[in-house]
Structure 1
Amino acid sequence: MRANWFITFLTALSFSALATELTPDQQVAKTQGLVFYNQFKTTLAIPKLRIAADAGDQEAQYYLGEAIVRKSKHMTSEAQGAYEASALNGNIYSMIRLAGSSDDLCVTMKNCPSAQKTPAEWKKIALEKAQAEASKGDAEAMYLMFRLSGDDKWLERSAEAGYALAQYRLATAYRSGKGFFLPPSKRAEAVERLMKASAEGGYPLGMMGYVEVLASNKQFDLLRFWNQTAAESGYASAVFGYGSYLSKVPSEFAFPYDPVKSYALIFSLLELDGGGGMRDYASDKLPEISEKLTPEQIEQAKQISKDWKATHPPLSYFPDKL
Structure 2
Amino acid sequence: METHTSTFVVFSGKIEPLISIKRIMICALLLTAITNNAYAELNTEQKLAKTKGITLYNQYKAISAIPYLKLAAEGGDGEAMYYLGEAIRKNNRYMNVEAQKAYEDSAALGNIYSMIRLGRSTDDPCTEMNNCPKGKKSAQEWMDIAKKSADLDAERGNSESMYLLYEISGDDKWLEKSAASGFSLAQFRLATKYQEGGGFSLLPSNRLDAIERWMKASAEGGYPPGMMGFAAVSIEKKDLESFRNWNEKAAASGYVEGVFGYGSYLGENPSNYGFKPDLVKSYALLSLLFELDGGGNVRRDVEDVLPDIAKKMSPEQINEAKRFSEGWKSSHPPLSFFPDKL
Could you tell me the TM-score, scaled by structure 2's length?
0.87
Deviations 1:243-284 (A, max 9, x none): 000011111110110011000000000000011111111122
Partner of 1:52: 72
- Report the secondary structure of 1:12's partner residue: coil
Shift of 1:48: 0.2
1:285 offset after TM fit, Å?
1.3
**1:12 corresponding residue in structure 2:** 3
* Greater CA drift, 15-24 or 133-142: 15-24
For 2:95 and 2:4, locate their aligned partners in 1 and report how far apart those are by CA, in whole Å: 23
Residue matched to 1:141 = 161
1:227 Cα offset (Å): 0.4
Distance in 2 (alpha carbons) for counterparts of 1:212 and 1:106: 45
Taking the aligned partners of 1:193 and 1:246, their CA distance within structure 2 comes to 28
Is the partner of 2:185 in helix, strand or coil?
helix
Gaps of 5+ in 1: 1-7
Contact in 2 for aligned 1:143/1:158 (Cα 8 Å): yes
Q: Which moved more, 1:64-73 or 1:290-299?
A: 290-299
CA distance in 2, matches of 1:318, 1:250: 31
Cα distance in 1 between the residues matched to 2:125 and 2:279: 50
- Which of 77, 80, 98 is 2:100 aligned to? 80
Q: Match of 2:48, SS?
A: helix
How far 1:13 sits from its partner (Å)? 5.4
Query: 1:131 aligned to 2:148?
Result: no
TM-score normalised by the chain length of structure 1: 0.92
Instruction: Please say if 1:100 is aligned against 2:128.
Output: no
Whichever residue aligns with residue 229 of structure 2, its letter is G
Match of 1:250 in 2: 270
2:149 counterpart of 1:158: no
1:66 maps onto 2:86 in alignment = yes
Distance 1:105 1:175 in 2: 36
**CA shift digits 1:36-59 (9 cap, x unpaired):** 100111111000000011111100
Q: Percent identity between the aligned chains?
A: 53
The partner residue of 1:173 within 165, 187, 193 is 193
RMSD: 2.2
Contact 1:264 1:305 in 2 (8 A): yes
2:301 to 276, 281, 288: 281
Q: Check 1:13–1:248 CA distance in 2 against 1; reply closer, same or farther (3 A cut).
A: farther
Name the SS for the 2:3 alignment partner: helix
State the alpha-carbon separation in 1 of the partners of residues 293 and 241 from structure 2.
Answer: 33
Native 8 Å contact 1:234 1:316 kept in 2: yes
C-alpha distance in structure 2 between counterparts of 1:221 and 1:243, whole Å: 17
Selected match of 1:223 from 243, 250, 254: 243
Partner of 2:12 in structure 1?
none
Aligned with 1:232 (options 252, 262, 274): 252
Q: Among residues 310, 319, 325, which one is paired with 1:299 in the alignment?
A: 319
Letter of the 1:123 partner, please give it. Answer: M
Count of residues in Structure 1 that have an aligned counterpart in Structure 2: 311
Instruction: Please report how far the alpha carbon of residue 14 of structure 1 lies from its aligned counterpart in structure 2 after TM superposition.
Output: 3.8
Task: Note the alpha carbon deviations across 1:274-319, whole angstroms, 9 max, x for none.
Answer: 1111111112211011011011111111111111000000000000
- Highest CA radius of gyration, 1 or 2? 2
Cα deviation, residue 205, structure 1 = 0.4
CA shift in 2, pair 1:139/1:202, >3 Å: same
The Cα offsets for residues 135-193 of structure 1, whole Å up to 9 and x where unpaired, read as 11110000000000010110011011110000000100101111124532100000000
AA of the residue aligned to 2:140: A
Distance 1:315 1:240 in 2: 11
Q: In structure 1, how many angstroms separate the alpha carbons of the residues matched to 2:197 and 2:120?
A: 28
Code of the aligned partner of 1:232: A
Q: Structure 2 regions of 5+ residues with no counterpart?
A: 8-33
Cα separation, 1, equivalents of 2:124 and 2:58: 23
Q: How far apart are the structure 2 equivalents of 1:101 and 1:183?
A: 39
